[in-house]
Amino acid sequence: MSTLRGIAVIFDLDGTLVDSEPNYYEASRQTLAAHGVPDFGWAEHERYVGISTLETVALLKERYGLGPSVAELLADVNRRYLRLARVATHAYPEMRGFVELLAGEGVPMAVASGSSPEAIDAILSATGLGAFVPTVVSADEVARGKPAPDVFLEAARRLGVAPADCVVLEDAAPGAAAARAAGMRCIAIPYVSGQADAAGFAGADLLLRGGQAAFTARAAYDWLAGLAPAAGPR
């Protein structure tokens, strides 16, 4: 019998399971350059880590006074991103190992992401992670993106588990805040180390300030095993 009985795990995708932020940055940079903004840099991109692509595009349109509609800009960013994602997406080795450990125990798992359904499917297919995590929710499918809890609550609903029995893995403060708002536990692995003290991370049950370098599959598994006696009905 699994030592993790009664626990479900919900993964953020970008920056948590896979290092896709460089691809999102490049897609945004190319789109902005095509519309007359030549100097969009990585430091500015970091401001948008953890919110949906739709919200990011809307903010960029407002910031730079771009002419095309949000829908047109979103389609442009997603098109460029998908081209990059299909050939250059890196799954974090320890995260892959963690997913495989959980799959071996029969733990229910889902991905809940601010990316589009097409982007999520492309990444999970390219990395092979989709074979282990078939349940997927995009922020495009719910009313509100992170830090609202909608995407995590929908993931729990699709898994058929109570929010209180879910543990979320997140790399961004808005996502950690969303997990807390959903009534779920959270392992926070900040993608941007300088943001580890952000208010959204304050409610995380486990905060790995060193980010992915501090994450190991075995340590995360053992931490979950310590929660199992209190996680749901027996």
Angle of the 53-64 helix axis to the 21-34 helix axis, nearest 10:
30
Token reading at 152? 């995590």
Distance, CA of 174 to CA of 171 (rounded, Å): 9
- Is 222 noted as a catalytic residue in this protein? no
The pair of structure tokens assigned to 50 is 């953890």
Q: What backbone phi and psi angles, to 5 degrees, belong to 61?
A: -60, -45
User: What are 16's two structure tokens?
Assistant: 């948590």
- How far is the C-alpha of 147 from the C-alpha of 159, rounded, in Å? 21
Pairing of strands 206-207, 135-138: unpaired
H runs (alpha helix) in the chain: 21-34, 42-45, 53-64, 70-85, 93-104, 117-127, 150-159, 173-181, 217-227
Q: Cβ(10)–Cβ(166) under 8 Å?
A: yes
Burial class (CB in 10 A: 0-12, 13-18, 19+), 153: buried
> Per the structure block, which two tokens stand in for 164?
């209180």
Give catalytic residue positions: 12
